[in-house]
Amino acid sequence: MSSKGVGLMAPVVGSDDGTQYHKDFTLSITKALGDQLAAALKGLDRAPLVEESIARLKEKPGVYQLYLNGEFVYVGKADKSLPARLRNHLRKISGRRNISLDEMTFSCLYVAEDFSALAPEQLLISHHKGMGNIPWNNNGFGNKDPGRQRDSTVLKQNHFDVVFPIDLDRPIEGLSPGEATLHELLETIKADLPYNFRYGKSAEFKARSVNVPSAEMTADEVFQLVSAEIPAKWQVTALMGYVIMYDDSPNEYKSAWRYYRAGQQIGAVPEAEPAGDVESDSSDLRE
């Protein structure tokens, strides 16, 4: 049979004879990568989230998973340094109530820099969300200070800051008994606290002298001391996830649970919205 004859017998494109010689094909490369990453992490042991464990890590980029009492709660990525990223989490959790570092463990994978462009943490998130929820990846855990415009935001009941609010009974280290300027005291507080302390600036703070009675004072005690020294129109406000100090007294914040005015501690009842996914902040913790 000639080649021409074969051509005449071949199925014609668009014919109705039931033959199929083309179709759509989707190559799920991202799903395969996510599955491989998840499997590699699952095969690892878990280390306590403490400095000793973190110090053994290489200064390399990578992905990691956090566990609370053995339950998987968070997927994250370090663009430059896994140790630095994990230390951020260690510090944050150390300043919270209703949770202890003794309950936290982690595992991690180093990834090549060119692989980072594929957003490996998103691959892992997609993998795990396909099998259920990842509690801390949508509750504000990874967010940094949201900024002044968000101070009045009402948080959701499942927000990390609501479930694990800041600990004001935590001691402030680095205090020196005796005279100091208010500016120096504020800088010491800001440097030591494992949660953010944001405050307005005033030239008066550098000129005003404060007597620090003891080197062993809690954040609550220090904020009472500070509030007694700042001008009357200023106040210190403890929100669920951080502390602010501005010249807006007696302004009230919906997520505040404690105020400090004129040396006095004033309790408050924070509002909260029904549980749901929390909007991720653009300042999510990255190196």
Q: Which residue has the higher pLDDT, 142 or 90?
A: 90
Number of C-beta neighbours around residue 278 at 10 A:
20
Query: Residues 230-249: what's their mean pLDDT?
Result: 96
DSSP assigned state of 12: P
CA distance from start to end of the chain = 71
Query: Residues 243-250: what's their mean pLDDT?
Result: 96
Give the per-residue pLDDT at 118: 63
CATH number for the domain whose boundaries are 148-267: 3.55.50
d(C-alpha 166, C-alpha 241), whole Å: 6
The pLDDT confidence band at residue 6, using thresholds 50, 70 and 90, is very low
Give the per-residue pLDDT at 29: 65
Q: Which stretches does DSSP call E strand in the chain?
A: 47-48, 62-68, 71-78, 104-110, 171-172, 178-181, 197-199, 209-212, 217-218, 235-239, 243-246, 256-261, 264-267
d(C-alpha 175, C-alpha 136), whole Å: 34
Q: Which residues, 6 or more positions from 29, have their beta carbon under 8 angstroms from its beta carbon?
A: none
Would you say residue 19 has pLDDT above 60?
yes
pLDDT tens-digit profile of 97-113?
A: 999 999 999 999 998 76
Number of C-beta neighbours around residue 220 at 10 A:
17
pLDDT tens-digit profile of 135-176?
A: 898 889 988 888 998 999 999 999 999 999 999 999 999 999
Give the per-residue pLDDT at 282: 38
Residue 156 has, within 13 A of its CA and on its CB side, a CA count of 14
The pLDDT confidence band at residue 284, using thresholds 50, 70 and 90, is very low
The pLDDT confidence band at residue 12, using thresholds 50, 70 and 90, is very low
Would you say residue 129 has pLDDT above 90?
no
Whether 32-138 shares its CATH topology with 148-267 is answered: no
CA distances (Å), origin 114, targets 83, 117, 120, 136, 242: 20, 6, 11, 27, 36
Query: Residues 182-203: what's their mean pLDDT?
Result: 96
pLDDT tens-digit profile of 26-83?
A: 556 667 777 888 888 888 999 999 999 999 999 999 999 999 999 999 999 998 899 9
Q: What tokens does 50 get?
A: 């403490």
What burial class does residue 6 get, using C-beta atoms within 10 Å of its C-beta: 0-12 exposed, 13-18 middle, 19+ buried?
Answer: exposed
Would you say residue 202 has pLDDT above 80?
yes
Q: What tokens does 16 get?
A: 């109705």
Give the per-residue pLDDT at 24: 67
Q: Is the peptide bond before 83 cis (omega within 30 degrees of 0)?
A: no
Angle between helices 29-42 and 120-129 (to 10 degrees): 80
* Cross-strand bridge partners of residue 238: 243, 258
Domain ranges of the chain: 32-138, 148-267
* Cross-strand bridge partners of residue 119: none
Question: Distance between alpha carbon 147 and the CA centroid of its chain, in Å?
Answer: 14
User: In whole numbers, what is the pLDDT of the chain averaged over residues?
Assistant: 87
CATH number for the domain whose boundaries are 32-138: 3.40.1440.10
Query: Residues 235-258: what's their mean pLDDT?
Result: 96
Rounded percentage of the chain residues whose pLDDT exceeds 90? 66
Q: Which residue has the higher pLDDT, 21 or 171?
A: 171
CB distance 189 to 197 below 8 Å = yes
